[in-house]
């Protein structure tokens, strides 16, 4: 790919990598994780046996999915979609309206589509995931809510990558950019294969998320400065 093509995108690619790399460390994401943990811990405490073991049932999975999804809905609506009542609290009337209004293309509540788009899953898919939780102890409560965090991270990261890697030209430039990152971080990215050619734009977007997650915590992508030095 021509240098000029990458040079025009390199600063944006830096921003994409740093956004994805730091997304889970933002106050908003941390608060989301803490809230989900509180919901899951409360559920565990109310249903564990004398040995401290929670054996997940279908009814339990359904109840927990409802609680986690309700919290996720309020958090995402308030923090990420800015559906507020004038302060910091979620606007429950606006959220209720999304629940009552139907999407004409699916016949399902608009809120389901909004949450699926933002969170990457709906309450039913969360329930299906929780059904297989099996036995849960205090040490692995995280397994009850981590799938929500992972899906939200992957969805948000994928969206960010999609805004910059839109077509084949972008994908080619992105591959060259990832090669440069790997050259600077050979140890951290040792297990990442940067192909000479890509099969789809989605493949390159996913690769970008993978690269960002594996970079060292103290590393900040700044390939743009390398171009400025070379100029």
The pLDDT tens digits of the residues spanning 174-221 come to: 999 999 999 999 999 999 999 989 999 999 999 999 999 999 989 999
Mean pLDDT score of the chain, rounded to an integer?
A: 90
* pTM for the structure as a whole: 0.85
Token pair for 190:
């040792």
Q: What does the pLDDT look like over 153-162, one tens digit per residue?
A: 999 999 999 9
Q: Which of 148, 180, 209 is the last residue before a domain boundary? A: 148
pLDDT over 90 (residue 92): no
- The domain tally of the chain equals 2
In a domain, 153, yes or no: no
Residue 55 forms beta bridges with which residues? 135
Give Cα 185 to chain centroid, integer Å. Answer: 24
Q: Name the residue among 118, 144, 129, 123 with its Cα closest to residue 33.
A: 144
Q: Which of 148, 182, 203 is the last residue before a domain boundary? A: 148
pLDDT at 2: 42
pLDDT over 50 (residue 1): no
Length of the chain: 231
pLDDT over 70 (residue 166): yes
């Amino acid at each position: 790919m021509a240098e000029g093509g990458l040079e025009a995108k390199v600063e944006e690619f830096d921003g994409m990598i740093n956004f994805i790399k730091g997304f889970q460390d933002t106050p908003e994401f941390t608060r989301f994780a803490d809230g989900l943990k509180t919901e899951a811990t409360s559920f565990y405490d109310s249903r564990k046996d004398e040995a401290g073991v929670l054996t997940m049932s279908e009814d339990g999975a359904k109840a927990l999915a409802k609680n986690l999804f309700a919290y996720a809905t309020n958090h995402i609506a308030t923090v990420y979609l800015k559906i507020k009542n004038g302060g910091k609290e979620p606007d429950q009337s606006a959220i209720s309206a999304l629940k009552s209004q139907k999407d004409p293309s699916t016949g399902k509540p608009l809120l389901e589509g909004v949450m699926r788009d933002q969170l990457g899953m709906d309450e039913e898919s969360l329930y299906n995931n929780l059904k297989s939780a099996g036995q849960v102890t205090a040490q692995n409560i995280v397994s009850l809510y981590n799938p929500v965090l992972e899906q939200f991270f992957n969805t948000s990261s994928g969206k960010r990558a999609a805004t910059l890697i839109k077509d084949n030209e972008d994908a080619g430039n992105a591959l060259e950019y990832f090669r440069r990152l790997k050259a600077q971080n050979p140890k951290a990215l040792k297990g990442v294969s940067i192909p000479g050619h890509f099969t789809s734009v989605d493949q390159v977007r996913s690769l970008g998320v993978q690269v960002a997650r594996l970079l060292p915590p103290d590393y900040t992508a700044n390939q743009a400065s390398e171009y400025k030095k070379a100029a």
